[in-house]
């Protein structure tokens, strides 16, 4: 099977190794990953700020870049949501049909692994590791990803430890963290106050990882924070990459 890879801005700039881990993982499962070199931002920041004309311009470019028929995989719940749920708000006529087509073919990484590949067993490279999983609001509430990531982690030997505030927002919210930083920090700290004793914290959304890793660092907590793609690749390969810092 062939699939296109939309790396997303945050993954490209802050989580390059995790973005590559996603490619390594997919290729190890027999997926031929193609990377369109002219891809750019999906337009989510402009859309969230109310600059819909600018967002439409970037979305139109994305529709052209990923105009084929193969699946499009993203290592980000928030950017996946932009393609799947919000492009249709920007267009009408033939372009709207293109937006719906791309929405149907777009998958967040764990979503693709479970909904398309049937949650394959990736190996046992996480045996004995205690994991706290943060689902991210986009994946949880807009993509409906559910417990797929937990199933993948547990099948690889990890113990996903119950977390009182697991379903609570981390407070990042993109522009929300910029416009209301005090509220954003308070939400992150409330979530981290309930964090159980684990070996690693993970999520499939780079924005959430930046938020939680940053607050842990400020609080003097050395807990490793890693993208879900890197943990799943560790499960598959037995190789551990750098933590988020």
| Full DSSP string of 50-74 | T-HHHHHHHHHHHHHHT-SSS-EEE
Does residue 136 share a domain with residue 43? no
Q: What is the DSSP letter of 224?
A: -
CB 216, CB 192: distance < 8 Å:
yes
**Is the confidence at residue 162, as pLDDT, over 60?**
yes
CB 142, CB 85: distance < 8 Å:
yes
How many C-beta atoms surround the C-beta of residue 37 within 10 A? 5
Does residue 77 share a domain with residue 9? yes
**Is the confidence at residue 245, as pLDDT, over 50?**
no
**pLDDT score for 173:** 85
Give me the number of domains the chain comprises. Answer: 2
Mean pLDDT of the chain: 94
Does residue 125 lie within any of the structural domains? no
Could you read off the pLDDT of 44-63 as tens digits, one per residue?
A: 999 999 999 999 999 999 99
Max CA-CA distance within the chain? Answer: 53
Domain boundary among 70, 86, 116: 116
Does residue 104 share a domain with residue 15? yes
Does residue 153 share a domain with residue 111? no
Does residue 170 share a domain with residue 101? no
Domain boundary among 86, 116, 146: 116
Does residue 163 share a domain with residue 70? no
In degrees and rounded to multiples of 5, residue 42 shows phi and psi of -75, -15
Does residue 95 lie within any of the structural domains? yes
Does residue 149 lie within any of the structural domains? yes
Does residue 111 share a domain with residue 54? yes
Does residue 123 lie within any of the structural domains? no
Does residue 244 lie within any of the structural domains? no
* CA 151 to the chain's CA centroid: 16
Does residue 121 lie within any of the structural domains? no
CB 230, CB 17: distance < 8 Å:
yes
For residue 187, the enclosing domain spans 130-237
Q: Does residue 218 or residue 239 have the better pLDDT?
A: 218
* CA 163 to the chain's CA centroid: 19
Percent of the chain with pLDDT over 90: 89
Alpha carbons 200 and 188: distance in angstroms, whole number:
17
């Amino acid at each position: 099977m062939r699939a296109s890879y939309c790396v997303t801005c945050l993954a490209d700039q802050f989580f390059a190794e995790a973005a590559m881990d996603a490619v390594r993982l997919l290729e190890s499962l027999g997926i031929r990953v193609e990377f369109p070199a002219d891809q750019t931002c999906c337009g989510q920041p402009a859309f969230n700020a109310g600059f819909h004309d600018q967002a439409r311009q970037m979305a139109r470019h994305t529709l052209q870049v990923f105009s084929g028929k193969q699946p499009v995989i993203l290592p980000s719940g928030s950017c996946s949501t932009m393609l799947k749920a919000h492009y249709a708000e920007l267009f009408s006529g033939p372009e709207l049909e293109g937006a719906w087509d791309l929405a149907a073919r777009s998958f967040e990484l764990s979503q693709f692994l479970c909904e398309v590949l049937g949650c394959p067993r990736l190996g046992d490279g996480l045996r004995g590791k205690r994991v706290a999983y943060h689902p991210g609001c986009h994946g949880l509430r807009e993509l409906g990803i559910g417990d797929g990531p937990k199933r993948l982690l547990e099948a690889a030997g990890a113990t996903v430890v119950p977390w009182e505030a697991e379903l609570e927002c981390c407070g990042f919210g993109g522009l929300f963290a910029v416009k209301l930083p005090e509220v954003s920090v308070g939400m992150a700290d409330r979530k981290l106050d309930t964090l159980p004793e684990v070996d690693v914290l993970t999520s499939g959304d780079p924005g959430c990882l930046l938020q939680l890793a940053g607050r842990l660092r400020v609080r003097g907590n050395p807990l490793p924070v890693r993208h879900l793609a890197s943990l799943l690749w560790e499960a598959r390969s037995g190789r551990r990459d750098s933590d988020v810092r």
